Chain A
Amino acid sequence: MLQQAAVGKEVALSIRGLKVVFHTYAGDVQALEGVDLEVHRGEILGLVGESGCGKSVTALAVAGLLPINAEVTAGEVLLDGRNLLEMNREAVRITRLKDIALVFQDPATYLNPVLTIGLQITEALTSDLKVFADELIAARMTNLQTAGTRSPEEEKELESLRRAKETHELNKKEGKRLASLRALDYLKLVRLSEPEKVLGMYPFELSGGMRQRAMIAMALVRRPRVLLADEITTALDVTVQAQILELLKDLRDKIDSAIVLITHDLAVVSEVCDRVAVMYAGSVVEVAGLVEFFSNPTHPYSKGLGASILRPDTNTENLESIKGSVPDLINPPSGCRFHPRCPYAFQKCPESKPPMTMVSPGHEVACFLYGG
């Protein structure tokens, strides 16, 4: 089921009917059960759900990083109209290099401890210069041309860049230099203080917040079409998390990418996201604009979540919880997977999976109470 694109916004990534199964010794885990999702250029989409809902699996599927025992049994992932799932390995690799970036939760374990930050950031750019040569040349040329005055060395550099632009070729040394300069630009973009120093530092010399910024820079330096941020603030202290969220809001206005912010924290979603998609047990159950979602949560699961969150600014009188627990995905409930826990379930619910139906423009829900 397609979702209505927000007015005037181009769709960067479109996931349709994605089904993923994990083959394990305990049985087949039906991890994704037909995920439909669209992300628009220049927006931050919050992908919310609790553990086991499949939000991380979705991100991995998009990035082509599913483990060996995972099988995509149906669906497509469209990036600019190309189905990522049908591309050959080399094409997928180039796409992952150029168009999709993934930032993870724990920067300490996702950064190579024996390489400097500078090396790690530029590695993506220099490992396959052909892919980035044009961009690097163009970006550096723009920088030089827009500068007020140029030194003689810079003039010479501009000349050689013009020549390189014609031939679309960059030798390794030049490539590394340009990549370093670009890395520096992005370290500044993520508001790291003393970015020149950071280039030469090792991960252990940075604090948690700085590492997360470095990882974001690492992801953005490739100017991806889609940035998938998987629980990037979960492991951070609240004051550091606030800084990273501010950074995300700032970046959203400056870069062109579509950002998917995966989190379990609705407060984080409220701070930075433009739209919200809620996942439960392997599929998307509700999609809405931010304000619409918080003022009018429609799916019973969303309502249950809303009733169980706490706030620091007001007293919560009745904290409710959703009865029952997250289902076993090896033997998931039939039909709508939420029906065993749903206070409004009726006889249609176990029969089949409810399709997404529109509640209002931009607001869709997968629930038989609203149609389907």
Chain B
Amino acid sequence: MEKLGPGDTRRKSELRYTLHLMRQNPIVLVGIVLAIGSVVLSLISGLIINPASGNTQDLPLRLCWNNPVTDWGVHNLFVCPGAHVYPLGTDAYGRDLLGMIILALPLDLEIALTIVASAVAIGVGMGAVAAYAGGLLDEAVLRITDVFFSIPGLSLAIVLVTFFSHSLFWLTTAVLVVWWPTYVRLIRSQVLTEKEKPYVEALRSTGAGRLRILFRHIVPNSIYPVLVQATLDVGGVILVFSTLMFIGFSPSPLLPELGNLAHAGIENVFIAPWLVLFPGLTILLIALGFNLLGDGIRDALDPRLRR
């Protein structure tokens, strides 16, 4: 009876090495904190802030600021009446901006994750099948993605939203349509490499069908670059999505969404600069967090950079 070979030390060391690589890079840690922080915050947002406060308007309080930290150098700053200190001021409808930002987090993240997850599902599905089947199907799928790549993403999204409607559904769908082709390319190149490997032929010789080989064996072995890209894309999608809202395509002006909040601030940027600044900063931090996290995962998993 044989004892286990030297491999079990290898398994422990892989994990340790991966963690070590991630720990070594402080920037990645920042990314992890930002990304996970925003997710945690969005999960508990309903507990901190009353969701109904998104619907209440308090017009006498609109665009006011009473946080003593700064006065923005604004000429005729409207100082909020009353004793309550609004840490980030109020928005165009008199709502506490900080509260609105916290309320907006779950919405933005949820939409971003929906878009990314759907794009991955569609892209991986199409790309894996096309790459494994090869031939005309592969050619066709490649040409379709080529078409999508040649259209500027934002413009396509705007056209779709204008054509259909400003609802959240169509906004989400518009960004999804722009996003999925990347995953086709990613999974395709991985599958093309994996399918030549000996274990695939071994599986064929046992009588495994093509679908089984593709989705139970090849795709799981090809998925790492897709995961990395998906993490990076959470940030990217939030940027695009909030930009759409920012330029005016939101379903309702009161909707607590980061881009939407900033939209109201454009007109009033000289009297209430915080209204553009803080939602924008939040978007920046979330996108940055996921970008750094994705970079960190990619570097840790890249076989060439490893010892």
Question: Which of B2, B3, B5, B307 makes the CB contact (< 8 A) with A25?
Answer: B307
Given contacts A24-B307, A69-B307, contact A325 B13 (CB under 8 A): no
Whether A8 sits at the interface, judged by CB under 8 Å, is: no
Whether B9 sits at the interface, judged by CB under 8 Å, is: yes
Q: Do residues A330 and B307 form an inter-chain contact, with CB atoms below 8 A?
A: no
Given contacts A25-B20, A25-B307, A69-B307, contact A325 B12 (CB under 8 A): no
Whether B10 sits at the interface, judged by CB under 8 Å, is: yes
In the complex, which residues of chain A have a beta carbon less than 8 angstroms from the beta carbon of B3? 325
In the complex, which residues of chain A have a beta carbon less than 8 angstroms from the beta carbon of B204? none
* Contact residues of A between 312 and 362, Cβ < 8 Å to B: 324-325, 328-330
Question: Which of B5, B16, B20, B307 makes the CB contact (< 8 A) with A325?
Answer: B5
Given contacts A24-B307, A25-B307, contact A328 B6 (CB under 8 A): yes
In the complex, which residues of chain A have a beta carbon less than 8 angstroms from the beta carbon of B17? 25
* Separation of A328 and B16 alpha carbons in the complex (Å): 19
In the complex, which residues of chain A have a beta carbon less than 8 angstroms from the beta carbon of B13? 24-27
* Separation of A370 and B17 alpha carbons in the complex (Å): 44
In the complex, which residues of chain B have a beta carbon less than 8 angstroms from the beta carbon of A27? 9, 13
* Separation of A325 and B3 alpha carbons in the complex (Å): 8
* Contact residues of A between 36 and 85, Cβ < 8 Å to B: 69
In the complex, which residues of chain B have a beta carbon less than 8 angstroms from the beta carbon of A69? 307
Q: Do residues B9 and A328 form an inter-chain contact, with CB atoms below 8 A?
A: yes
In the complex, which residues of chain B have a beta carbon less than 8 angstroms from the beta carbon of A25? 13, 16-17, 20, 307
- Minimum CB–CB distance for B26 against chain A, Å: 20
Given contacts A325-B2, A325-B3, A325-B5, contact A26 B307 (CB under 8 A): no
Q: What residue of chain A has the Cβ atom nearest to residue B5's Cβ?
A: A325
* Separation of A329 and B6 alpha carbons in the complex (Å): 9
Q: Which of A26, A69, A330 has the most CB of B within 10 A?
A: A26
Give the interface residue-count category, chain B: 10 to 19
* Separation of A24 and B5 alpha carbons in the complex (Å): 17
In the complex, which residues of chain B have a beta carbon less than 8 angstroms from the beta carbon of A329? 6
Q: Which of A69, A328, A330 has the most CB of B within 10 A?
A: A328
Produce 1/0 per residue, B263-274, CB < 8 A to A: 000000000000
In the complex, which residues of chain A have a beta carbon less than 8 angstroms from the beta carbon of B2? 324-325
In the complex, which residues of chain A have a beta carbon less than 8 angstroms from the beta carbon of B12? 26
In the complex, which residues of chain B have a beta carbon less than 8 angstroms from the beta carbon of A26? 9-10, 12-13
* Separation of A25 and B300 alpha carbons in the complex (Å): 14
Q: Do residues A330 and B9 form an inter-chain contact, with CB atoms below 8 A?
A: yes
In the complex, which residues of chain B have a beta carbon less than 8 angstroms from the beta carbon of A330? 6, 9
* Separation of A26 and B14 alpha carbons in the complex (Å): 8
Q: What residue of chain A has the Cβ atom nearest to residue B15's Cβ?
A: A25
- Minimum CB–CB distance for B149 against chain A, Å: 33
In the complex, which residues of chain B have a beta carbon less than 8 angstroms from the beta carbon of A328? 5-6, 9
* Separation of A25 and B6 alpha carbons in the complex (Å): 14
* Separation of A144 and B10 alpha carbons in the complex (Å): 60
Produce 1/0 per residue, B1-39, CB < 8 A to A: 011011001101100110010000000000000000000
In the complex, which residues of chain B have a beta carbon less than 8 angstroms from the beta carbon of A325? 2-3, 5
* Separation of A325 and B17 alpha carbons in the complex (Å): 27
Produce 1/0 per residue, A15-47, CB < 8 A to B: 000000000111100000000000000000000
* Separation of A324 and B17 alpha carbons in the complex (Å): 30
Q: What residue of chain B has the Cβ atom nearest to residue A52's Cβ?
A: B6
* Contact residues of B between 282 and 307, Cβ < 8 Å to A: 307
- Minimum CB–CB distance for A281 against chain B, Å: 12
- Minimum CB–CB distance for A332 against chain B, Å: 11
In the complex, which residues of chain A have a beta carbon less than 8 angstroms from the beta carbon of B5? 325, 328
* Separation of A26 and B15 alpha carbons in the complex (Å): 10
- Minimum CB–CB distance for A96 against chain B, Å: 24
- Minimum CB–CB distance for B98 against chain A, Å: 45
Q: What residue of chain B has the Cβ atom nearest to residue A26's Cβ?
A: B13
- Minimum CB–CB distance for A1 against chain B, Å: 29
Q: What residue of chain B has the Cβ atom nearest to residue A67's Cβ?
A: B307
Q: What residue of chain B has the Cβ atom nearest to residue A68's Cβ?
A: B307
* Separation of A324 and B20 alpha carbons in the complex (Å): 34
Q: What residue of chain A has the Cβ atom nearest to residue B9's Cβ?
A: A26
- Minimum CB–CB distance for A359 against chain B, Å: 32
- Minimum CB–CB distance for A283 against chain B, Å: 18
In addition to A24-B307, A325-B5, 7 A-B residue pairs with Cβ atoms within 8 Å of each other are: A25-B16, A25-B20, A26-B9, A26-B13, A27-B13, A328-B5, A330-B6
Q: What are 24 A-B pairs at a CB distance below 8 A?
A: A24-B13, A24-B307, A25-B13, A25-B16, A25-B17, A25-B20, A25-B307, A26-B9, A26-B10, A26-B12, A26-B13, A27-B9, A27-B13, A69-B307, A324-B2, A325-B2, A325-B3, A325-B5, A328-B5, A328-B6, A328-B9, A329-B6, A330-B6, A330-B9
Residues on B lying within 8 angstroms of A by beta carbon are 2-3, 5-6, 9-10, 12-13, 16-17, 20, 307
Residues on A lying within 8 angstroms of B by beta carbon are 24-27, 69, 324-325, 328-330
Q: Which 9 A-B pairs have the closest CB atoms?
A: A26-B13, A25-B17, A25-B13, A328-B6, A26-B9, A25-B16, A330-B9, A26-B10, A325-B2
